[in-house]
Amino acid sequence: MLRNGAMALVATLTLLSCKGGGADMSKGGLELVYEAAPAGTDDGRAAALADSARKIVLARLAAAKIPAVVRLDGRKLRVGLPAGEGMSRAEDAKKVLGMVGAFEVREVQDAQFLKELGAGLDEEGPVKVSRDTWSDVNGAPRGCFMVDAADEANARKVFPKDKLPSGVDLLQQQGVPGERLVFIAVSAPVLNNESILSVKAIKDPMGTPVTNLKLTPDGAKKLEEATHRIKGKKLALVLDSVILSTPVVMTAMDQGELPLPQADVGDRKARERAADLLAAALGSGALPAALTLVEERHVAKSH
């Protein structure tokens, strides 16, 4: 009976590996173990989230050209990266699976209310209100108030959600580790993942790596209408509730496409790779929940 049970287990794991991808782990490699559901989620719901996430994980790794085997283990996903090319791409795998992939386009608010809420804050304290300024297409001055903070907890304490106008969120802007954080007030989303038709990493006319979004007809119409309405103001391009960039809208965007530039960090090759990974994540759809890396271990080769 035990022998039959063991044989059934081996057969099941073999089937899962075959379904999980064509990478060969016989020579060993690296295994990344992810929790596929938030803490406190019941096992049934967690297993369903893991099953849904597995399909997206496979698609992302394939799009990023990272050889891997992905299999279900209850509420966990086990991602096997084979020795050689797979293991060499481990950091890329962590990056592409570390994104939920929830994309939004929002309008940056001028946020006069932040100045009023922050009246009396110490300029040298952990939280203060500052102002970003720029010029519109006619050279007229524009700007918005924003929050400058030493950490998120202090920023949220001084500017809680219930003190903000209806439909407005205070989102953190992507920054450099070790520097003070910047929070910008933005409107409700104008576009989200449902407006994305396809995604491709390309170079813009200046040769800069970007992740280019081709929008659905409905998404293209919404973007054109929004950018026509807010000319001279800024858009917020948001990934997983973090603002990637805030471009100034100089003219209505009517081409049905939206380029996402990479942060000017690292060399050109690193930025090109970052554009590829973002394209793989957005092109495969958003995960049902964030994946949490809970274990990383080396796997010995089979004998």
When pLDDT is averaged across residues 199-215 and rounded to a whole number, the result is 92
Note the pLDDT tens digit of each residue in 110-155: 999 999 999 999 988 999 999 999 998 889 999 999 999 999 999 9
Domain residues for the domain of 33 are 2-99+288-299
- Judge if 245 and 112 occupy the same domain: yes
pLDDT class for 205, splitting at 50, 70, 90? confident
The pTM assigned to this predicted structure is 0.87
pLDDT digits (tens, 9 = 90+) for 30-60: 999 999 999 999 999 999 999 999 999 999 9
| One domain, residues 270 and 214 | yes
* Count of structural domains, the chain: 2
* Distance of alpha carbon 264 from alpha carbon 270, whole angstroms: 10
267 vs 237, more confident: 237
Residue in this structure with the two tokens 């490699």, named with its chain if needed: 29
Q: Comparing C-alpha atoms, which of 253, 186, 188, 251 is closest to residue 219?
A: 253
The answer to whether residues 79 and 111 belong to one domain is: no
Q: What pLDDT, on a 0 to 100 scale, did the predictor assign at position 17?
A: 38
Q: Is the pLDDT of residue 214 over 70?
A: yes
* CATH number of the domain enclosing 20: 3.30.70.3400
* CA distance to 17, 22, 50, 158, 199, per residue, from 81 (Å): 12, 11, 19, 45, 25
pLDDT in tens, 80-115: 999 988 788 999 999 999 999 999 999 999 999 999
DSSP 49-114: HHHHHHHHHHHHHHHTT---EEEEETTEEEEEEETTHHHHTHHHHHHHHS----EEEEEBP--HHH
The pLDDT tens digits of the residues spanning 248-297 come to 999 999 999 999 987 666 688 889 999 999 999 999 999 999 999 999 99
Q: Are residues 16 and 111 in the same domain?
A: no
Tell me the two tokens of residue 298: 């080396």
